[in-house]
Homo-oligomer: A and B are copies of this chain.
Amino acid sequence: MNSFERPNIRNMEGYTPGEQLLAPDIIKLNTNESPFPPTKRVGELLANFNYEALNLYPDPSSSSLREFIAEMHGLTPRNIVITHGGDEGLRLAMTTFVDPGEHCLFEDPTYSLYSVLAGIQNAKSLSIELNDDWSLPEDFADRAIKSESKLTFIVNPHAPSGRFLTAEALSAIADSTPGVLLIDEAYFDFVDTKLKYKTSEIVKNHKNVLVLRTLSKGYGLAGLRLAYLVGDEKLVAPIREKTADSYNTSKLNQELGLVALQDQDYANNVWNEIRIERNCLSEELRMLGFKVNPSQTNFILVESPEPKINAKEIYNRLRESGVLVRYFDTKRLKNAFRVTVGTRSQNAIFLEKLSVIS
């Protein structure tokens, strides 16, 4: 036994990432990546990058990138901190706002990293089970108050169900949560534009709200690791000035992220395409007899019509036939699998394989 680890680290389990590519011809619909490449401006910048300048440290404050993002949201650069993927943003919130022994709160089910991050910080994890339709229990805020939660995580739209919470619902929770409310908007880009939710409004109206956005999903840049937090100046300042590593964003990521964000036309086309495919795929799945949860994300939670065939077996047999979806081996999700919306042809192959199995 290693006697050097802190006891809480020794006794915890680490986070298990979704399976990465096994073979080049596999159809990978298990980790919610974009099936489309990033804008070709990323490729052009890489091809012309002045690699010689990599000998110097990057701008520690990522100024240009933060200015552009602030403008996108109608906020100031003091509201923004750039992070090395969304996971760094989540970790920094834990480091900055939660003392060991204090409580954090999240939905159940949710992104399993939250409880791992709480474990590392030696904080206490509390979770509130979602209703049968994956909606938030009405007493969520009351229970947050009672728990004295220092950091509450809500994924919106929700993973793995795809459910969307309105700005009103989130505001009510922000008003009554005692600590910081982190709204993880990892999948926000895929929300129907008619829902008119604005990140800047909720940030402007709540001094305790921190919003996470990432370029991993909507901008096809999971391989890059680039995300950012948006929040009140006083909430963001200690993260940027104290708890984040000084050079947490490489020179490459600062420049590549900027060109990706600048090409909003390309990004919007991708998001529209995913929304259209999501709706078609949902319809086809329903026609195959599955229960399909309405999704505002780039994935769909599919419930299997037991007892005919169970979800784990579907997962295994899809995997054998070269299609990877995500199966969560937990009590609540044991009869469901999550499928990322792929390109039209990927989705067609997935449906074909699935129809043979089910």
Collect the chain B residues with CB atoms within 8 Å of residue A220's CB.
54-55
**Contact A56–B28 (Cβ < 8 Å):** yes
A192 touches B (CB below 8 Å): no
A289 touches B (CB below 8 Å): no
In angstroms, how far is the closest chain B Cβ from the Cβ of A40? 8
Q: Which of B57, B120, B237, B248 lies in contact with A95, CB distance below 8 A?
A: B120
A252's nearest neighbour on chain B, judged by CB, is: B252
**Contact B246–A223 (Cβ < 8 Å):** no
Collect the chain B residues with CB atoms within 8 Å of residue A42's CB.
51, 54
Given contacts A47-B47, A223-B250, A245-B85, contact A6 B96 (CB under 8 A): yes
Task: Give the interface size bracket for A toward B.
Answer: 35 or more
A12-20, A139-147, A347-355 - interface stretch: A12-20
Q: In whole angstroms, what is the CA distance A107 to B42 when docked?
A: 44
**Contact A222–B56 (Cβ < 8 Å):** yes
Q: Which of B51, B55, B57, B245 lies in contact with A84, CB distance below 8 A?
A: B245
Q: In whole angstroms, what is the CA distance A54 to B51 when docked?
A: 19
Q: In whole angstroms, what is the CA distance A47 to B51 when docked?
A: 9
**Contact A222–B98 (Cβ < 8 Å):** no
Q: CB within 8 Å of B: which residues of A? A: 2, 4-7, 9-10, 12-15, 17-18, 20-21, 28, 31, 33-38, 40, 42-43, 46-49, 51-60, 84-85, 87-88, 91, 95-100, 113, 116, 120, 122, 150, 179-180, 208, 216, 220-225, 234-235, 237-238, 241-243, 245-248, 250-253
Q: Which of B60, B208, B241 lies in contact with A20, CB distance below 8 A?
A: B60
In angstroms, how far is the closest chain B Cβ from the Cβ of A121? 9
Q: Which of B47, B100, B245 lies in contact with A87, CB distance below 8 A?
A: B245
Collect the chain B residues with CB atoms within 8 Å of residue A95's CB.
9, 120
Q: In whole angstroms, what is the CA distance A15 to B221 when docked?
A: 30
A220's nearest neighbour on chain B, judged by CB, is: B55
In angstroms, how far is the closest chain B Cβ from the Cβ of A43? 4
Collect the chain B residues with CB atoms within 8 Å of residue A234's CB.
2, 4
A240's nearest neighbour on chain B, judged by CB, is: B14
**Contact B247–A87 (Cβ < 8 Å):** yes
Collect the chain B residues with CB atoms within 8 Å of residue A98's CB.
6
Collect the chain B residues with CB atoms within 8 Å of residue A113's CB.
246
**6 additional contacts (CB under 8 A) given A17-B247, A33-B57, A56-B222:** A6-B99, A12-B242, A38-B52, A55-B221, A57-B216, A57-B223
Q: In whole angstroms, what is the CA distance A217 to B53 when docked?
A: 13
Collect the chain B residues with CB atoms within 8 Å of residue A241's CB.
14
